[in-house]
């Protein structure tokens, strides 16, 4: 806002927007020392563009919150630097970073009214008193809580409290908004409506970079421009949701994002990004993608994993000649689909999951056919 009245040449504006809103530069965080050291985050490199939403997705304990806390200033990196809009903030206290933070636990001050909770960051930023009321009203309006300023947090539902927490984060008009599992404490229905609301908020804040921590792939898919898949303190993969889902670079991402059958196979003939592979004595075609960086050698004769999504497989009659013969191991009805778990002849120790439409009923042990699509799936490297 200091630039008001100064007309910047276009070239300056362009290069300004080229500076990432967030940079993690080889950030490592270790808790404890000696034999009790936990490496919670190892060498995280990540850039988030102005206005971009990036989800950190991974199982519990994979280092997601640690990454967010390192950026917010709640934990100190053991190595590496964090930058906001090009400025190294590694040594700054949290309040000086100009970041909005929303946590799963809401963390509202229980004895303060909603409006005072939202005003809190503005007061510590020494925003003039006359302006504070307007900014609080604006922030509460953004989350549909304009009429609740006088309430205490305990007079609100969980969803409403989380809205207030979001309003509090937005009141300081942050360029960077960090959200750590903000919907995890809400029930399933409320989570859906809050997710839609976060999507709207994202559209309403086109210049705000968001880092969204979640273990829930549905939230990541719904909100993120790019997804970072975390596992065991490390960034496993980063790309658009669509790329990660269609051509998962690692078996971890294939399984964590969307669920997948990962069937060991032998690579046969390869032409461009297409390969013939053999599974259960059957030859099928598969996508053999090249990653955007580096190169994978899908050498004929080498072993790989064939990733087939459960919904891509089809249960058919035994008369179908192209089908694999399989036996039903278990069925789990999920509402719109039934997850059918199968063991397939010629694939010992390998269970195959198929999502059949509706409430598909099979006897345990029943023999059925499984039709494999064309191409069958996408090749994924065997983890080393």
Site for Mg ion, rule CB under 5 A: 65
Region from 32-40, 191-199, 242-250, 342-350 binding ligand ADP, contact rule CB under 6 A: 32-40
14, two tokens? 């362009």
Cα–Cα distance measured from residue 351 to residue 273, given in angstroms and rounded to the nearest whole number = 27
CA distance linking residue 103 with residue 257, whole number of Å: 23
The minimum distance between CB 128 and ligand ADP, in angstroms, equals 38
> What's phi and psi for 279, nearest 5 deg?
-130, 140
Complex with ligand ADP: residue 28 or 149, whichever CB lies closer: 28
Cβ at position 215, least distance to ligand ADP in Å = 7
The binder of 171, among Mg ion, ligand ADP, none, by C-beta within 5 to 8 A per type, is none
Residues forming a β-bridge with 183: none
Distance CA 162, CA 104 (A): 8
Q: Taking the CA of residue 317 as centre, how many other CA atoms within 13 Å lie in the half-sphere pointing to its CB?
A: 2
Closest CB to Mg ion among residues 103, 140? 103
Report if residue 259 touches ligand ADP, rule: CB under 6 A. Answer: no
| Cβ at position 57, least distance to ligand ADP in Å | 9
Question: Which span sits near ligand ADP by CB under 6 A: 57-65, 265-273, 343-351, 363-371?
Answer: 57-65
Helix (H, G, I), strand (E, B) or coil at 64: helix
Q: Pull the structure tokens for residue 217.
A: 């792939």
- Residue 62 binding partner per list Mg ion, ligand ADP, none, with a CB distance cut-off of 5 to 8 Å that depends on partner kind: ligand ADP
Give min distance, CB of 210 to Mg ion, in A: 16
Element (H, E) at 41: strand 38-48
Residue 217 binding ligand ADP, by CB under 6 A: no
With CB under 6 A as the contact rule, the residue among 18, 31, 330, 358 that binds ligand ADP is 31
- Min dist CB 232 to Mg ion, Å, is 14
For residue 232, give both structure tokens.
């065991």
22, 44, 46, 58: residue in contact with ligand ADP (rule CB under 6 A): 58
38 part of the interface to ligand ADP, by CB under 6 A = yes
The verdict on 214 binding ligand ADP (CB under 6 A) reads no
65 vs 338, which CB is nearer to Mg ion?
65
Backbone dihedral region for residue 280 (phi beyond 0: left; psi -120 to 50: alpha; all else: beta): left
Q: What token pair was written down for 6? A: 């100064």
Cα 86 to its chain centre, rounded Å, is 24
The CA distance from 82 to 32, in Å, is: 21
Using CB atoms within 10 Å of the CB of residue 295, give its burial: 0 to 12 exposed, 13 to 18 middle, 19+ buried: exposed
Q: Which does 100 bind (CB under 5 to 8 A by kind): ligand ADP, Mg ion, none?
A: none
- CA-based nearest residue to 368, from 383, 384, 359, 356: 356
Q: What are phi and psi of 2, to 5 degrees?
A: -65, -20
Among residues 90 and 302, whose Cβ is nearest to ligand ADP?
Answer: 90
Regarding 61 and contact with ligand ADP (CB under 6 A), the answer is yes
* Cis status of the peptide bond prior to 62, with omega within 30 of 0: no
Nearest-approach distance from CB 230 to ligand ADP, in angstroms: 6
CA distance 103 to 178: 8
Q: x-or-dash pattern for ligand ADP, window 62-101, by CB under 6 A?
A: xxxxx-----------------------------------
Q: Which positions touch ligand ADP (CB under 6 A)?
A: 31-32, 38, 40, 58, 60-66
């Amino acid at each position: 806002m200091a630039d008001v009245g100064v007309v910047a040449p276009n070239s300056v504006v362009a290069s300004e927007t080229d500076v990432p809103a967030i940079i993690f530069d080889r950030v490592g965080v270790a808790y404890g020392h000696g034999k009790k050291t936990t490496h919670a985050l190892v060498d995280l490199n990540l850039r988030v563009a102005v206005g971009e939403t990036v989800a950190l997705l991974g199982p519990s304990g994979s280092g997601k919150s640690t990454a967010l806390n390192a950026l917010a200033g709640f934990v100190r990196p053991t190595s590496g630097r964090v930058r906001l809009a090009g400025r190294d903030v590694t040594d700054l206290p949290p309040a000086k970073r100009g970041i909005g933070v929303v946590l799963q636990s809401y963390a509202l001050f229980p004895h303060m009214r909603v409006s005072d909770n939202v005003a809190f960051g503005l007061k510590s930023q020494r925003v003039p008193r006359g302006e504070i009321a307007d900014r609080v009203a604006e922030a509460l309006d953004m989350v549909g809580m304009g009429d609740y300023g006088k309430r205490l947090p305990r007079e609100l539902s969980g969803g409403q409290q989380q809205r207030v927490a979001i309003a509090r984060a937005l009141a300081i008009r942050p360029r960077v908004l960090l959200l750590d599992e903000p919907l995890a404490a809400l029930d399933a229905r409320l989570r859906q409506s809050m997710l839609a609301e976060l999507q709207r908020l994202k559209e309403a804040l086109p210049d705000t970079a968001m880092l969204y921590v979640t273990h829930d792939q549905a939230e990541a898919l719904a909100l993120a421009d790019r997804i970072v898949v975390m596992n065991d303190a490390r960034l496993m993969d980063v790309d658009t949701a669509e790329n990660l889902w269609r051509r998962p670079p690692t078996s971890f991402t294939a399984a964590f994002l969307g669920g997948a059958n990962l069937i060991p196979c032998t690579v046969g003939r390869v032409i461009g990004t297409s390969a013939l592979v053999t599974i259960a004595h059957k030859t099928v075609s598969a996508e053999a993608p090249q990653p955007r960086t580096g190169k994978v050698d899908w050498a004929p004769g080498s072993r790989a994993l064939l990733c087939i999504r459960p919904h891509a497989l089809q249960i058919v009659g035994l008369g179908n000649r192209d089908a694999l013969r399989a036996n039903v191991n278990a069925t789990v009805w999920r509402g719109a689909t039934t997850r059918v778990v199968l063991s397939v002849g010629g694939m010992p120790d390998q269970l195959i999951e198929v999502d059949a439409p509706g409430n598909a009923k099979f006897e345990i042990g029943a023999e059925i056919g499984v039709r494999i699509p064309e191409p069958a799936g996408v090749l994924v490297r065997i983890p080393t």
